[in-house]
Amino acid sequence: MAPSRSVSEPAAGPVPRGRRLHPWPVRIMHWINAVAMLVMIGSGWGIYDDSVIFGFLHFPKSIRLGSWGAESLLWHFAGMWVLALNGLGYLIYGVVTGRFREKLLPIAVSELIQTVRETLRFKITHDDLTVYNAVQKVLYIVVILAGVMQVVTGLAIWKPVQFSSLVALFSDFQGARLAHFLGMAVIVGFLFVHVVLALLVPRTLWAMLTGGPRLDRGPGHAPVGESR
Ligand code: HEM
C-alpha cells in the first residue's frame, strides 16, 4: 500500500530545480483571467439590467460595462472568448503539470473547520506561502467549478436551440439564465473575499506578480513547502 502523504507534502513527485511557487504561465493566466472576469461581470450586469430577473435588483450605470444593453453584449462576447480560451489553458496546465493535485488536494475536514474558526476570530496567518490552507483550497475549487459552469450556462442561453440539451439540464431557458446569474453571484462573492485576503497578506499579491519563493533551494535543502 502507498504511504500516506502529509497535508503540506507536494503530490506530484520531485520538484524541478528552481521552480517558483507561481510559475509564469500561472501568473499570466491568473491575471488575464481576473481582467476577463471583471469584463464579464460588468458587462453581464449591463445585459441583466435590460431584462431583470429580480424586480428589486438593478445595477447602477456607474458599475456596468457598456452604456446600453447591446454595447454590454459586445463586451460580454469579447470577454467570453478570452475567458473560455484562457480558462481552458489554465485547466489543462493545472491537470497536466499536477498543480491542481499538488496545491488544491487533499482537503482535511478537520483543518477546514479549524481554519474557518480562526478566520472568524480574525486569526489570519499565511506564513508559508507555498501551502494553501483548507479554506483557500475550497474557495479555489469552488471558483474554478463556478467558472466552468458559467461557460456551460452561458452557452445554453447564448444558443438555446443548438445547445437545447444543455438548456434541458436547467429545466428551461429561464432556469439556465438563473443558474448563470447565481454563478456570477458566487464569483463576485469569491472575488470580494479573495481580494480582501490578498490585501491583508500583501506578500501573496507580490508572489502572484513576481512568482514568489523558489520551491527547491538546491541539494541538501527541503522545498520551502515542506518546512512548516
Ligand atoms: C474573478 C477573478 C479571479 C479569479 C477567478 C481568481 C482565481 C484564483 C485562483 C484559482 C488562484 C489559485 C491559483 C493557483 O495557485 O493555481 C488564485 C490565486 C491568487 N489570486 Fe486570484 N483570482 C481572481 C482575481 C484576483 C484579483 C483581482 C487579485 C488581486 C487582488 C487576485 C490575487 C490573487 C493572489 C495574491 C493569489 C495567490 C494567493 C496565495 O498565494 O495565497 N486574484 N486566484
Nearest to 79 by CA among 26, 147, 24: 147
* pLDDT band at 119; cut points 50, 70, 90: confident
The predicted pLDDT at position 225 comes to 39
Q: pLDDT value at position 221?
A: 45
pLDDT tens per residue, range 152-165:
999 999 999 999 99
Average pLDDT over the chain, rounded to an integer: 89
pLDDT number for residue 15: 56
In angstroms, rounded to a whole number, what is the distance separating the alpha carbons of residues 98 and 57? 42
Whose CA is closest to 18, among 162, 171, 183, 216?
216
CA distance 115 to 133: 7
Backbone torsions φ then ψ of 212, nearest 5 degrees: 75, -170
Give the start-to-end residue ranges of the domains of the chain. 106-209
Model pTM score: 0.86
Strand partners, 20: 214
Q: 214 pairs with which residues across the strands?
A: 20
Chain length of the chain: 228
* pLDDT given at position 17: 66
Residue 30 CA, ligand 1 centroid: distance in Å: 6
Q: Is the CB of 194 under 6 A from ligand 1?
A: yes
Which residue has the least CA distance to atom 9 on ligand 1? Answer: 140
Ligand 1 contacts CB of residue 188 (under 6 A): no
- Spell out the residues 6+ positions from residue 193 whose beta carbon is closer than 8 angstroms to its own: 139
The CB of 26 under 6 Å from ligand 1? The reply is: yes
- 126 band by pLDDT with thresholds 50, 70 and 90: confident
- Please tell me the distance from the alpha carbon of residue 134 to that of residue 137, in angstroms, as a whole number: 5
- Cell numbers for 148, please give them: 466552468
Residue percentage of the chain with pLDDT more than 70: 87
Q: Calculate the dihedral angle through the C-alpha atoms of 159, 161, 164, 167, rounding to the nearest 10 degrees.
A: 50
Nearest CA to ligand 1 atom 39: 204
Question: How far is the CA of 113 from the CAs of 119, 158, 195, in angstroms?
Answer: 10, 40, 22
CA 1 to chain centre: 34
